[in-house]
Structure 1
């Protein structure tokens, strides 16, 4: 689910769970009693409720997307979402799937660049916001929203003429997926030569440190900024799983010292200074990649049969 919702009066985004350190679960699962359907229901409940408020409160202007500006949720998205979009350029004329389209900001912006866009999400309510956004922005004929999780999404069953896409993109969504089911679906839907690009939070640390981060004493003082209980940052095991399904798996690191934002609100000057330092350090000291906060993952060349 993409966080692309902002207060139309102030322009301020809601609490952004996508740039926080997320809940960790043993063996990379979301809890032994929690099924995939449960996880989808949790997400849908959260965003359906959010959508009801937006549909009641927003004016047409709040829905409108400026084609000249990438719709960043906040300052933390600027670097990595720009890099992700650069991975799939040129945009005009492309068939693009956005996974976790949320309220449609990115999908509509891509359509305004001349792409033919399909956006999917587990929340039917938030997609009503997205459809309204497409109408107000004048691209309802270029973007289609489908209520479906990626794990079971079938373009043909949804009545779409598109079966494969020239690009797939998602902003802070992979950490919600059933990884194997999602990777299989992505591989089926990528056109030859196409790539899937995802912006994701990461935490490349030992399990004991993850457990410490998510322990009761720590979370009482520094609570994770999550919208649902089923979220966690990706780790190296997730990247290894992706390599089972794709021959091309590349990741580019973002944010380092700026991880302080997880624990205290940084002023804009401090944030931009730290982010500038982060760019230099990540570029010149390769080992620091392993303590970055965000990555842009590029997937391509799907395998017909996953490796073991």
Structure 2
């Protein structure tokens, strides 16, 4: 039986690949950090922190970062990378987070939402843990780009699709969820957010210098889409609180 999204199995290979590749290190991560902006002194939740590469960049910019991820082995790499002073929580984004309400100024969900079938729970939790005036930064698969390799031919549908990844010479089976743009906006609105900004960034000079071919490709079609969300100021739905860790 095929096992998909087994980040515990290939944590080291995945970490080695994303630390300095084009798509993550030179395209998505700089774009996310640009949208986050000045984080000095701000409390930031890295939701789906993985091996802690983005958390490291946020902490280096002065943020008080907390990372959350489901994978034991990715969190172990993150702990080694970040040291003892960055809180790391093992938790499933599909479940209530063990974090008090109104704890963070910023929630960042970098390339994690496309793993989730139902966005309502995670988005509601992001809103719950946001302090007043806070924002959520999301990057995810661009729906216009990911529906084509899925083979479904149904941009307007919401469906699972699979891919095979090669990271550091190892092959891994991945499973994602495609949803059209209107379904993303519907989920944001239902969770009590307004969309402040949508971004489909072009690649920067670092991509051009590394790979002219990918620079040309990413300049024609964005593989990821980025959002800044703001709470609409209503009280979040009641939820039991558990202590921060």
TM-score, normalised relative to structure 1: 0.58
Deviation of 1:131 (Å): 0.3
CA contact (8 A) 2:50 2:75 kept: yes
- How many residue pairs were aligned? 207
CA contact (8 A) 1:81 1:199 kept: no
Distance in 2 (alpha carbons) for counterparts of 1:209 and 1:100 = 24
**Given the superposition, is the C-alpha separation of residues 229 and 123 from structure 1 closer, same or farther in structure 2, using an over 3 Å criterion?**
same
CA contact (8 A) 1:99 1:119 kept: yes
**Residue ranges of structure 1 left out of the alignment (5+ in a row):** 1-40, 63-70, 157-161, 215-222, 257-266, 279-290
Aligned partner of 2:216 in structure 1 is 273
Distance in 1 (alpha carbons) for counterparts of 2:55 and 2:224 = 21
Deviation of 1:122 (Å): 0.8
Distance in 1 (alpha carbons) for counterparts of 2:201 and 2:164 = 19
Distance in 2 (alpha carbons) for counterparts of 1:240 and 1:164 = 25
Aligned partner of 1:100 in structure 2 is 48
Aligned partner of 1:112 in structure 2 is 60
Aligned partner of 2:230 in structure 1 is 300
CA RMSD of aligned residues (A): 3.3
Rg larger in structure = 1
Deviation of 1:90 (Å): 1.0
Deviation of 1:101 (Å): 0.7
More strand by share: 2
CA contact (8 A) 1:200 1:234 kept: no
2:133 paired with 1:193: yes
Aligned partner of 2:157 in structure 1 is none
More helix by share: 1
CA contact (8 A) 1:198 1:298 kept: yes
Instruction: Give 2:87's match in structure 1, choosing from 133, 144, 148.
Output: 144
Instruction: Give 1:168's match in structure 2, choosing from 100, 103, 107.
Output: 107
Distance in 2 (alpha carbons) for counterparts of 1:188 and 1:228 = 33
**Given the superposition, is the C-alpha separation of residues 42 and 145 from structure 1 closer, same or farther in structure 2, using an over 3 Å criterion?**
farther
Distance in 1 (alpha carbons) for counterparts of 2:200 and 2:90 = 31
2:76 paired with 1:128: yes
Aligned partner of 1:159 in structure 2 is none
